[in-house]
Structure formats: structure tokens, C-alpha cells
Amino acid sequence: MSVLRLFSWRHDYHWRNPTLAPTEKLDPAILCFHIDQSAYQSYQTIFTKYQETFMSGHFLAWHNIKRAVDATVAKSKLNDVEKRMWNQFWHTNFLGEMQKWEFRAMALAIPSWEEIVDELYNAILECVKGAEDMLANAAHGIPGKRVL
């Protein structure tokens, strides 16, 4: 919940009707962080396993099916009008939409531990009142990070 609060904080909640006063920073008393690199590494291992399973299973099957459909259409006895209609549907409409998720699936990557810690550290500095004191406190802080 603390991470959600932290990343939901905005400089100005009402962008269409901004006030002259800045948004109040979060009170460190409502935040509690537990940083566990081994838990993240476990998550990373599970994520990688599922990603590899997906890429070598369903994603590969999708690519094989696309080739099979193209081969079937090439062998078919469609006249010119039907082929143009098919190509319009298949290449422009259907594959055009499918390409969006294909690129997203191929681009799925989990950030490194260092990137996660840096992002959290910078968010705390930006959004939390008295962030330097909070980060210096072992109960809330991120071990190993130098306070700015």
C-alpha cells in the first residue's frame, strides 16, 4: 500500500484547476517499506520462467499459425477480388492489431534490482516530507543508499 501511495502522489492533483499552493508531501508515518532483494530475485526467476514458457509455447504457436495461414491462402483458389479482401482483412486489420501485442510481448522485461531501488529512492526523495530523515532511519530506509 505504501508503494501505491508513493507512486500515486502528484505535484498537482487537479491539472485542469491548479491551485497556487503545491501539493503537500506524504507524511512518512503513513509509509512502511520492507526491501527484500531475495524476494525480488525469486519473483524475477518466476517471471523469467513464465516468460520463457510463453515465448516457446503460445507465442511460437502463434507465429507458426500465421505462417500456416499465409501458406494456405497462397495455395487457395481465391479470385483477385477475394484475395484483395482477404489481404485487407488479414494483413491490414487483423495482423495490424495483433502486431501491437506482439511487440509488447517481445519487449516485456523486468527491471534490475538496482533500477527498482533507485526508482523507489528517488520517489521517496521527491514525494515524502522529511525524506532524508526517513531514508536514514533503518525502519523505513533503503539500506546501502547514500542520503543526498
Domain contains 7 = yes
* Structural domain boundaries enclosing 52: 2-14+22-136
Return the bridge partners of 26, or none. Answer: 128
DSSP string, 19-70: -SSPPPPBPGGG------HHHHHHHHHHHHHHHHHHHHTHHHHHHHHHHHHH
Q: Give per-residue pLDDT as tens, 9-30.
A: 776 666 666 666 677 888 888 8
Give the count of domains, the chain.
1
Question: How many CA atoms lie within 13 Å of 107's alpha carbon, on the beta-carbon side?
Answer: 6
pLDDT-flagged residues of the chain (< 50): 139-141, 145-148
Domain contains 142 = no
Domain contains 147 = no
pLDDT at 148: 35
Q: Tell me if the pTM is above 0.75.
A: no
Question: How many CA atoms lie within 13 Å of 65's alpha carbon, on the beta-carbon side?
Answer: 9
Domain contains 144 = no
Domain contains 108 = yes
pLDDT at 141: 47
Domain contains 115 = yes
Q: What does the alpha-carbon distance between residue 26 and residue 131 come to, in Å, rounded to a whole number?
A: 9
pLDDT at 33: 82
